[in-house]
Structure 1
């Protein structure tokens, strides 16, 4: 949308922490991973140095709640291209090699899914303590002359044209209302507002975009020094307990200590809370870890109990809403999120930053009286966004149900998944390519889904299970697994359509 003749030209970033420009090219709400990556990417796209980018965040420091830390190679590639990687590695970030999945910790041979086996991709991802990650990204993004970072400022509404419209589909968003220190309230104008404020996005709510979040439960997190694992640079998934456990490195300290994060998946109806949670985890989850690691985790839980409750964060499933509206873009978790078992959330946010900034770079030389990111640019971004987010959500949904193994059907699918992975290197490579966002071709996604579905029957009826499961039990598991797989058909079809749909059909 062109600016009117009375609108001021883009302003450079004000030097004072309390001053604001009359108008910005882009206002980013949220200074987490996606928001900082986007600010950095837009600054790089502004080759002529004439754009202004404002980043607002509620927290003066990094949000106290622990959050995503594991980033797939595609996301690491974005971090590297944006210039973040050297500083992150200096701060203790760890380059990671993929996933190792264990159905039964001490009895079954684990399945290794190595990033290096995926053709034409970066061989390693990166993992780093969330607070160090965001602190580092904020510092570097704010060094760009086009970027102003303001904290603590809370967005309390969006500005729309016409002013009375309360739905993003019926109006153009042209700014935000924000409340800052001392109760100061300001109206801030911009050609584009970007919601990078997480799964509970206030901007998304103020824009009238429906919130279809579903509470899946909670993730409890614990730090373990030098965790005893045969593959310490992989994300290790341990099954067999009440929910999946995930252990991955987050920091390499200056003295060489490798600190790992161990997460426990908990239901939304918590079986224990507060100081009672540590004893519950010790009794129900820890026995399903390898012996040496179990001893370390038991000691860490005991030490944590003396300090306070175990850290927890809620987990949600948010089916991807429309990623754009006139004057608005959603990125990161604000544009859809899933269970964190696939560790793809931050990679999605980084890819969002990459593709939105790519549109900005294509319009780097447009006249100052035109919007930097116009409606066509947003439409192009939305098409790219919808090529990878639905795949991620479908995979996270299916893997979460299978790994949790809550009923016969889910356990049957889990067995089929392991059977499929063990059937050949190619199967593992293609699964990891999808899981890590390296593969987006719709026919590959559909092919992998159908191949895994075929294994649902084969792996549950194979004679090698006879000594453990009577025939009637195997039939019941097959029936449940096939039924559960069948409920995913509509989801798979919608994913395929989102990837095949031409640009001109995007609303």
Structure 2
């Protein structure tokens, strides 16, 4: 494992996520849920509405027979659980902080040079998994192209503390300028995800603190009383991007290195977690069959599985965002949740949207699709006495690590 930052730096991001039921099931399968569960919020209600329209559509756990609609999980909590698992493993060597200097993909192995501790190291592995973000250097160096665009919007995130209880309720309001989401967190805190056109968002983030909070209170509403800012507001551009492929011989892309989507619906992190679970399952199956798990035929299975579902989610989030952007519509045409949208929904039984993260695995024997096996727990598929080989298969991507650097950089 090669991490550009120290563990403390990687875990320090002041951000939270809407954590799907499938992502939670994957963490349970990895044995991480006991550490995470006490530190997250169960969404007891999710309220969706058009910005100025009085009616709302409300989802509850009872609609789907689950314990929560979603979860509110902070970045630091998830990272702490993952980092503890990495540090406890005897089969994972972590280079942190470190930078990949070069990669050469051979017929049987990939050769990497990394810089760590002011030294240059050479590593060999049958498979490199690129999880290096939206601007993935590994993807670009491999010549994997992508399709997509930058939206006319930017996104502001911040963590707040309302005067009144959030009551474990998440809100998403769809305004013509962009969606505005409120995610409940432990300690009666909330994260806001405020999407607005670039100039408006940049003007908001540049306001003095009191003026920013006044603008936020107007957009947020008074359903929870006065607001106190807990974290510094952050601004980032909103993009949609899909790589032309998720794998080449000796290289697999996961998470933002493979795709990114509009923040509406909170799908980004969940898509990446499902990528990792799907890739792990494909690699385990290949290993069990005696296949070369860095070969193109193996990685094509992962590509076919994940790109199809991710295309659906990318398209759904894009359509949802554009549906409320009134300048794109003909004059007089109502927005998607304008009249009569919520009225129709008010008379329907709420159903959890398919986009909530119920990742599907194509069956080799039929058209039936299944969830990744990690969603049912490793214990259901692998005997507990086999945990070390399983960890090695899932997580240890580097083999034959040299004991000495081949060259001193300084």
TM-score bin (small chain): 0.7 to 0.9
Deviations 1:366-417 (A, max 9, x none): 66xx634543321221221123111110111011222444443585334265
C-alpha deviation, 1:227, in angstroms:
6.2
Query: Aligned to 2:315, which of 379, 394, 401?
Result: 394
Q: Gaps spanning 5+ residues in structure 1: where? A: 1-54, 163-171, 443-507
Per the alignment, residue 422 of structure 1 pairs with: 346
Matched residues in 2 for 1:208 and 1:173: separation? Answer: 18
- Are the equivalent residues in 1 in contact too, given 2:282–2:301 (CA < 8 A)? yes
Query: Aligned to 1:159, which of 88, 104, 126?
Result: 104
Matched residues in 2 for 1:195 and 1:420: separation? Answer: 44
Q: Secondary structure at the match of 1:359?
A: helix
Between 1 and 2, higher relative CO (CA 8 Å, sep ≥ 6) is seen in: 2
Per the alignment, residue 408 of structure 1 pairs with: 329
Matched residues in 1 for 2:29 and 2:328: separation? Answer: 44
Query: Aligned to 2:37, which of 76, 86, 89?
Result: 89
Deviations 1:217-257 (A, max 9, x none): 4321222225646x63243112347432111123x2xxxx2
Per the alignment, residue 110 of structure 2 pairs with: 174
Per the alignment, residue 122 of structure 2 pairs with: 187
Please show how residues 295-314 of structure 1 align to structure 2 within 5 Å.
Answer: 295-297=225-227, 299-300=228-229, 310-314=233-237
Deviations 1:140-167 (A, max 9, x none): 13312211122111123321238xxxxx
Q: Secondary structure at the match of 1:197?
A: coil
Matched residues in 2 for 1:371 and 1:273: separation? Answer: 52
TM-score by length of 1: 0.62
Q: Secondary structure at the match of 2:31?
A: coil
Q: Gaps spanning 5+ residues in structure 2: where? A: 363-410
Query: Aligned to 2:253, which of 330, 334, 337?
Result: 330
Matched residues in 2 for 1:207 and 1:441: separation? Answer: 27
- Are the equivalent residues in 1 in contact too, given 2:16–2:72 (CA < 8 A)? no
- Are the equivalent residues in 2 in contact too, given 1:246–1:263 (CA < 8 A)? yes
Query: Aligned to 2:283, which of 347, 356, 360?
Result: 360
TM-score by length of 2: 0.76
- Are the equivalent residues in 1 in contact too, given 2:162–2:188 (CA < 8 A)? yes
Per the alignment, residue 465 of structure 1 pairs with: none
Deviations 1:6-33 (A, max 9, x none): xxxxxxxxxxxxxxxxxxxxxxxxxxxx
Per the alignment, residue 348 of structure 1 pairs with: 271
Per the alignment, residue 100 of structure 1 pairs with: 47
Per the alignment, residue 224 of structure 1 pairs with: 160
Deviations 1:314-366 (A, max 9, x none): 32211243111111111111111101111111221121121111123224446
| Higher share of residues assigned strand | 2
Per the alignment, residue 210 of structure 1 pairs with: 145
Please show how residues 432-443 of structure 1 align to structure 2 within 5 Å.
Answer: 432-438=352-358
Query: Aligned to 1:118, which of 64, 75, 83?
Result: 64
Give the 3 Å change call, closer, same or farther, for CA 67–380 of structure 1 in structure 2.
farther
Matched residues in 2 for 1:324 and 1:387: separation? Answer: 14
| Higher share of residues assigned helix | 1
Matched residues in 2 for 1:200 and 1:417: separation? Answer: 38
- Are the equivalent residues in 2 in contact too, given 1:247–1:260 (CA < 8 A)? yes
The structure having more radius of gyration, on CA atoms, is 1
Moved more, 187-196 or 141-150: 141-150
Across the aligned residues of Structure 1 and Structure 2, the Cα RMSD in angstroms comes to 3.1
- Are the equivalent residues in 2 in contact too, given 1:247–1:262 (CA < 8 A)? yes
Alignment partner of 1:58 is 2:4: yes
Q: Secondary structure at the match of 1:291?
A: coil
C-alpha deviation, 1:195, in angstroms:
0.8
Give the 3 Å change call, closer, same or farther, for CA 221–396 of structure 1 in structure 2.
same
Matched residues in 2 for 1:441 and 1:396: separation? Answer: 21
Matched residues in 2 for 1:439 and 1:118: separation? Answer: 16
- Are the equivalent residues in 2 in contact too, given 1:69–1:129 (CA < 8 A)? yes
Matched residues in 2 for 1:215 and 1:71: separation? Answer: 25
